[in-house]
Structure 1
Amino acid sequence: MTVRRPRIGLLVALVATLALLCCGGSVSAVLLGAFGTDKEDLSLFTSGCGTGGPLDPEGKLPKIRPYGATQMKNAAIIINVGATLKMPPRAWVVAVATAMQESRLTNLGYLGDRNDHDSLGLFQQRPSSGWGTPAQVTDPTYAATKFYEKLKTIDGWETMALTEAAQRVQISAYPQAYAKHELLATQIVNVLADGAANAVGNSLAMVCASAADIAASGWTNPYAVKVDAKYKWSVGSGFRIPTRPDHHGVDLIAGFNTPVRSVASGVVSRVLCDETFSGAIDCDREGWPGKGGCGWFVEIRHAGNIMTRYCHLIKRPDLKAGQRVVAGQTIALTGSSGNSSGSHLHFEVHLNNDTSSSSAVDPVRFMAERGAPLTGSQ
């Protein structure tokens, strides 16, 4: 595996110029959010993969709203401690997200009547529970070190959802609270550590994530098809291209029965047969252009109120609404059900857990920003 930097502009151009397959639409609903507005600063994403190393906490650090200079310094300390301990960049994301929830990246002292028992510091670690003395747990370097040391003792933390890994360390009264910080924690790690959330490995050997890898961001590619020692498939119709403005996802073309993977940890929200043809609804056979609908499809909700949709599956996936899945888990097989002219996966990304077409964003851009570019050759 060689170190490569994602070429987002090239990927977008590639997908925008290819239109090979037909595939179905989605249900209409109210617009709850938009992509590319003032609320999401895309300049925060970097094209590196951590090879430049974390920034010096004592140097000039970039700012990320709503965090100020002192908070960003604390985030940089957390990341640098992780690098020093040779923890993989996924651990840095987990640690930063945890400190965001526990203290808003602020080194908390004694809070008086508002204090949660004797919780102190970036991670609200309790001296009475054995984390260290008050002076120690309010030292950001010490506090981060103790967090990583506890994280290392948790078997399988690398493949857990972030909120589960954080909860195993913190044992919080609000175990699901960490999830909402994952996307911004990913941005912070990318900005302060040369795109390390796009990488795998550790501070000694870090490379861009391949198609089969789960990047430190917690995201991966929906395919991991190995051909001639490389991961290959072709990219068909792109997101809302001029000739197909109502195409709200991207087509990833692979043969029948190719495993489809969840691109991040999450919870299955829907497993349905969707066809708009006026005749009998039948997703258990190949569709055709004009039949309408996604055929067999799955929707999964992820941290940050992100929803992903996987369409034209060959048969009903063996999943149930409410079932938890992890990044990289096989959830279905490719097919050509519904409005389709050949075997492929139609893949969509939606904001705000909104199932409508109006909430869809460009999957190519979205996935590249998370270190899991939708390219057929890694």
Structure 2
Amino acid sequence: MSDYEDAPRPRLRIRRIALAIALTATLTLLCCGGTVSAFFLGGLGGVDDNTMTLSAYGCGEGGPVSADGNLPAIGPYGKVQVRNAAVIINVGSTMGVPPRGWVVAVATAMQESRLSNLGFLGDRNDHDSLGLFQQRPSMGWGTPEQLQDPAYASTKFYEKLVTVAGWEDMSLTAAAQAVQRSAYPDAYAKHEPIATQIVNLLANGAARAIGSGTDLRCAAAGEVAASGWTIPVKAMVGSGFRTPERPDHDGVDLIVAKGAPIWAASSGIVTVAACDNDASGRSCNVDGYPGKLGCGWFVEVQHAGNLMTRYCHMVERPSAKVGDVVNAGQVIGRVGSSGNSSGPHLHFEVHVNNDRSPSGAVNPVSFMKDQGASLDGGQ
């Protein structure tokens, strides 16, 4: 069994890459059961007490809540806006669009209208754009009256989305842009974490599911959930996050054979692909040992919502390179034992708030469970 010991963080000169994917609310990541977790409450902030009646921990089996009910305000979105989100989700469900489409649609409406059914805004209007998705009558989306019907506008969005080849495997930004053709295509991604949380709240945890219509199930190991997340390797969890024995262990060790593929846990941009403190890579081209410095060959990926994942101890120089745009499930390297390691495994970390230091690390097990990519089931 391998036993990664944390070492001083590598002092690397990282090329900063501009990402228009900042989250508008700070994520608080805690593990709990029941209905709505502290993850959702902390992530959205200011959630109405009635939200506690919404179920967020299934996998969509119960179906979406009715848009005609007395829905609560959620985070920065008032009751009318939440009702519009519920309409978007219910239309997608009725049309048989997989929950990933619901997340894409809700995030798109967040960017286009803040989930508000906008009419003509005069000088502030973008051409003749109207409604939740700012669709334009002059571009054939429908009449002004139709586009201000949330159900109609949602239907038109989904009808276009499902014609986009491979949309389910795209990043949220790419899928939304394929429909909207926005002048600001990178703006959609920043809404993905909140849209995921709202879909979970309004549809019984459907952002952790795959399937469509009433045939939904929890994503299995290696599948990409509607949240856009998947496990980084099929493995068993070894050493845990900041245990009493290892309080400085900022990730989890996933025990798997040398050479096994490592997958990007979600879409994003590679910001680091390096060997600890050795530009030549020579010190990482051999197996490490306990007490040796750091991660060995490792990769960091920046995701929507100021989230970062780190993948350590690769067997060779990563296949992913700095600046690469990767999709969830894309191979970025292979498992090894370089750096501070006593056997083959993947040391996996999740960081929030664009903070790659130990202060930004959160428990990957609880975080990934909330995304529908449980590390516990990754064998």
Letter of the 1:284 partner, please give it.
N
1:117-174 Cα deviation digits (max 9, x unpaired):
0000000000011100000000000000000000011101000000110001000010
SS in 1 for 2:272: strand
In the alignment, the residues of structure 2 paired with residue 28 and residue 34 of structure 1 have an alpha-carbon distance, to the nearest angstrom, of 26
1:21 aligns with 2:3: yes
Counterpart in the other structure of 2:144:
134
| Contact 1:275-1:339 at 8 Å conserved across structures | no
In the alignment, the residues of structure 2 paired with residue 23 and residue 281 of structure 1 have an alpha-carbon distance, to the nearest angstrom, of 21
In the alignment, the residues of structure 2 paired with residue 194 and residue 34 of structure 1 have an alpha-carbon distance, to the nearest angstrom, of 20
Post-superposition shift, 1:235?
1.0
In the alignment, the residues of structure 1 paired with residue 177 and residue 306 of structure 2 have an alpha-carbon distance, to the nearest angstrom, of 19
SS in 2 for 1:80: helix
SS in 1 for 2:210: strand
TM-score (norm 1): 0.87
1:270 to 266, 269, 272: 272
Once superposed, which parts of structure 1, at least 4 consecutive aligned residues long, lie more than 4 Å away? 36-39, 41-45
Counterpart in the other structure of 2:18:
none
1:282-340 Cα deviation digits (max 9, x unpaired):
00011000012000000001111111000000000122111111000111110000000
Counterpart in the other structure of 1:66:
76
Counterpart in the other structure of 1:369:
370
In the alignment, the residues of structure 2 paired with residue 122 and residue 35 of structure 1 have an alpha-carbon distance, to the nearest angstrom, of 28
Post-superposition shift, 1:34?
7.5
2:43 to 37, 40, 43: 40
Letter of the 1:340 partner, please give it.
S
Counterpart in the other structure of 1:109:
119
In the alignment, the residues of structure 2 paired with residue 356 and residue 93 of structure 1 have an alpha-carbon distance, to the nearest angstrom, of 30
| Contact 2:130-2:136 at 8 Å conserved across structures | yes
TM-score (norm 2): 0.87
Letter of the 1:188 partner, please give it.
I
Post-superposition shift, 1:281?
5.9
Distance 1:281 1:293, change over 3 A: farther
Moved more, 267-276 or 131-140: 267-276
In the alignment, the residues of structure 2 paired with residue 177 and residue 28 of structure 1 have an alpha-carbon distance, to the nearest angstrom, of 31
Distance 1:202 1:115, change over 3 A: same
Counterpart in the other structure of 1:209:
219
In the alignment, the residues of structure 2 paired with residue 292 and residue 87 of structure 1 have an alpha-carbon distance, to the nearest angstrom, of 48
Counterpart in the other structure of 1:352:
353
Letter of the 1:291 partner, please give it.
K
Counterpart in the other structure of 2:33:
none
| Contact 2:103-2:199 at 8 Å conserved across structures | yes
Counterpart in the other structure of 1:172:
182
| Contact 2:63-2:214 at 8 Å conserved across structures | no
Post-superposition shift, 1:97?
0.2
| Contact 2:91-2:155 at 8 Å conserved across structures | yes
Counterpart in the other structure of 1:200:
210
In the alignment, the residues of structure 2 paired with residue 254 and residue 299 of structure 1 have an alpha-carbon distance, to the nearest angstrom, of 20
Counterpart in the other structure of 1:321:
322
CA RMSD in angstroms comes to: 2.1
1:53 to 57, 63, 68: 63
SS in 1 for 2:283: coil
Q: How many residues align?
A: 346
Higher relative contact order (CA 8 A, sep 6+): 1
Name structure 2 gaps, 5 residues minimum: 13-25, 30-37, 46-51
Letter of the 1:65 partner, please give it.
G
Post-superposition shift, 1:355?
1.6
In the alignment, the residues of structure 2 paired with residue 157 and residue 147 of structure 1 have an alpha-carbon distance, to the nearest angstrom, of 13
Counterpart in the other structure of 2:308:
307
Q: Identity, % of aligned pairs?
A: 60
Counterpart in the other structure of 1:257:
259
SS in 2 for 1:241: coil
Distance 1:362 1:200, change over 3 A: same
Counterpart in the other structure of 2:299:
298
